[in-house]
Structure 1
């Protein structure tokens, strides 16, 4: 019987479930646990060899011993019992049945029955089967032992009762020991099974966390790539139209395209950097922040998002681990879409929420809505962005009065709207998106603010 009780000097080992379990104490115990067939063979041999030697001595005893047929039958029965004991782990009930069957004829006149194999079988049933089977087997074995003592004894009543009582005590002791060892083994096995289940649940939680992180990164990449590309395409079309009439404005538009692309690449590097320990990027960001004459990235009210065209006017690349954009960058965001040809305007009412998470959600809602208006609204005269904040509540409304471009249907599968809905739901909010009467489109989001997210 092995034990998994931890010890201070135990060396962790891995079991079949991949768990790091402590090494059971005792060199000999670990050896026997690793070689169960050797243990069973020694147990069977410990019964077979002495019994066979005694039978052979009786057969060669001077003055005439038992008949050869009786000796041969006894040897055959001993070999059968030994074979049953050899498979006591795999078929304990069969070993008990064979041992109990051989117990009755083993009682000689005025003698003791052969209870040793029955004791071993009862122990095996209690350890490798279950407690209920062990107690039932004990009752059967005690009954057979009592019958054998009664029919095999020629003494008065008190004599066979004494023999039966002694056998019963030995069988009970073997069963109690087996029940104790078996219960402990099953308890340890249940603990190992529980640990394996907890490890499995831990791995599943880790996989779910990774999947959730990948989904979040997919939404962020959608915000970066789709929105920036839409602005870049609009700027490139405008630059192409102005190439002949106003070359200077055309070149300015192309510089804005290049800045937008560089900023998008920088923010993508920052976003993908959260998947690992990007120490090189952190060192680059620290070096950029400490360089003379260079402002720290992402600090101050005038800092802009890396995904907006106006935020890319600087020649230096944004730090990969720069902070996420917030409400302070809404003005630059709207200006960037206005420079791309979208008649957007921003209206602010109340104070900006203090939570960075809420600010990022507001920024993404406005960015997604303006990008959709740029891509799908035909000839809008005005695109209004209204942000109103009161204690405990913030509301964002983006309206446009453009017609739908039926000849250019959306191919995005509503990933952006779905992602925005998930963001808003994190703050007990709702998101509505749909057409307006008389033409146009509206996106309306409301979010609840607790004390920690109150307007700053």
Structure 2
């Protein structure tokens, strides 16, 4: 199983319409045009259309400075608003409402509504208070109202734009998070699949090779004294090898098809017969009907197979190996005991990983396994496996 590469991170949707899309792609150009319009509007609001007229140099400088700050209104909206308020305060007889609206819109859109409201209060105060000592009360009051209305009109769309941008960004962040979680789930699934395949390979190879080695040793021991038994053992070795090849082909087919592997034979009687043929005195005792769930049957089969494989390897001179499976209990109880004298594994047989793999396999179903020596002599393997739910398909 392979995990695909991470997809390209999602982006904010493009604005609808060719004109809006153009301005979205060229924000610097939009700011430059806005700066020019602010300068032109502010200057014309003072000069009107009467030409020629004396030019107020101070007001012209204010218009240029305010227009320049419009170029950085996205990144530095406070600077833009400060320039508007300071310039308007220096030239109390001039109207600077357009620049004020642009600055407050930027503050609401790129900072926060709280900042925009605070900026509006400070800016309106700065634009009207200097005119109080010198102007008509009705005039500066109306000017304050006009600037306040402009502030409200500018803040609302700016806050709406910021809210929409934050909402879209939250959606994108959630999309990225879901994509990462999906990718992580894919990696975990791949790890679980590799672990399952490793367990299945171990079950197939360890079981088959252990029985084949024991039969080969027995055939070699009686080759001269009892050729018939030696030939029978050789035939058994061939049969076990062919069964292992069938299981291997099935496992490889599962890898190609993406399905779930099951052993070719799930019959515990046949499994016990195979080990009896290898010289292990296996007795099988079952209680209750077998579950219809395939995965549970496979887990029971693999548990008994691993326990008998270990008994064949290490239980020296075992006179009895009892396999007890109680399907009636919840959880299902599996116990394999022998009365042999335990020995260390032969150098060429066993990796001591079978029980580890068995614990991992049963843990996937919520089961447990415990293995250890018996009080007198011998070895026991005890495992539990939860009963399948009643609505599980067979």
TM-score, length-scaled by structure 1: 0.74
Task: Verify: 1:42 aligned to 2:22, yes or no.
Answer: no
Which residues of structure 1 form unaligned runs of 5+?
A: 1-15, 279-319
Partner residue in 2 for 1:172: 152
Q: Deviations over 1:176-227 (max 9, x none)?
A: 2211222222222222222222222222223222322222222222212222
Partner residue in 1 for 2:17: 26
Q: Distance in 2 between matches of 1:363 and 1:407?
A: 23
- Note the C-alpha offset of 1:251: 4.1
- Note the C-alpha offset of 1:442: 0.5
- Note the C-alpha offset of 1:409: 8.1
Q: Distance in 2 between matches of 1:44 and 1:275?
A: 65
Partner residue in 2 for 1:300: none
Deviation beyond 6 Å, 4+ runs, structure 1: 52-58, 409-413
Q: Distance in 2 between matches of 1:413 and 1:326?
A: 24
Give matches, 1:137-152, under 5 Å: 137-151=119-133
Q: Give the conservation status (yes or no) of the 8 Å contact 1:394–1:446.
A: yes
CA 1:395–1:106 in 2, change beyond 3 Å: closer, same or farther?
same
Partner residue in 1 for 2:91: 106
Task: Verify: 1:77 aligned to 2:59, yes or no.
Answer: no
Q: Give the conservation status (yes or no) of the 8 Å contact 1:348–1:386.
A: yes
- Note the C-alpha offset of 1:135: 0.9
Task: Verify: 1:121 aligned to 2:141, yes or no.
Answer: no
Corresponding residue SS for 1:104? helix
- Note the C-alpha offset of 1:173: 0.8
Q: Give the conservation status (yes or no) of the 8 Å contact 1:120–1:174.
A: yes
CA 1:256–1:81 in 2, change beyond 3 Å: closer, same or farther?
farther
Corresponding residue SS for 2:390? helix
Which residues of structure 2 form unaligned runs of 5+?
A: 1-6
Q: Distance in 2 between matches of 1:398 and 1:432?
A: 11
Task: Verify: 1:87 aligned to 2:94, yes or no.
Answer: no
Give matches, 1:287-306, under 5 Å: none
Corresponding residue SS for 1:452? coil
- Note the C-alpha offset of 1:370: 0.8
- Note the C-alpha offset of 1:428: 5.3
- Note the C-alpha offset of 1:52: 6.8
Q: Give the conservation status (yes or no) of the 8 Å contact 1:93–1:125.
A: yes
Q: Give the conservation status (yes or no) of the 8 Å contact 2:15–2:24.
A: no
Give matches, 1:150-299, under 5 Å: 150-151=132-133, 154=135, 156-277=136-257
TM-score, length-scaled by structure 2: 0.84
Corresponding residue SS for 2:29? helix
Which deviates more, 40-49 or 176-185? 40-49
Q: Deviations over 1:112-140 (max 9, x none)?
A: 43122221111011111111111111111
CA 1:191–1:408 in 2, change beyond 3 Å: closer, same or farther?
same
CA 1:333–1:266 in 2, change beyond 3 Å: closer, same or farther?
same
Q: Deviations over 1:125-173 (max 9, x none)?
A: 111111111111111111112224435x54x321221122112211221
Q: Give the conservation status (yes or no) of the 8 Å contact 2:296–2:388.
A: no
CA 1:387–1:31 in 2, change beyond 3 Å: closer, same or farther?
same
Q: Distance in 1 between matches of 2:345 and 2:199?
A: 27
Q: Distance in 2 between matches of 1:51 and 1:126?
A: 22
Q: Give the conservation status (yes or no) of the 8 Å contact 2:316–2:343.
A: yes
Q: Distance in 2 between matches of 1:139 and 1:158?
A: 20
- Note the C-alpha offset of 1:422: 4.2
Q: Give the conservation status (yes or no) of the 8 Å contact 1:344–1:382.
A: yes
Which deviates more, 418-427 or 261-270? 418-427
User: For the aligned residues, what is the CA RMSD?
Assistant: 3.4
Corresponding residue SS for 1:444? strand
Report how many residues are paired: 386
- Note the C-alpha offset of 1:330: 0.9
Partner residue in 2 for 1:379: 317
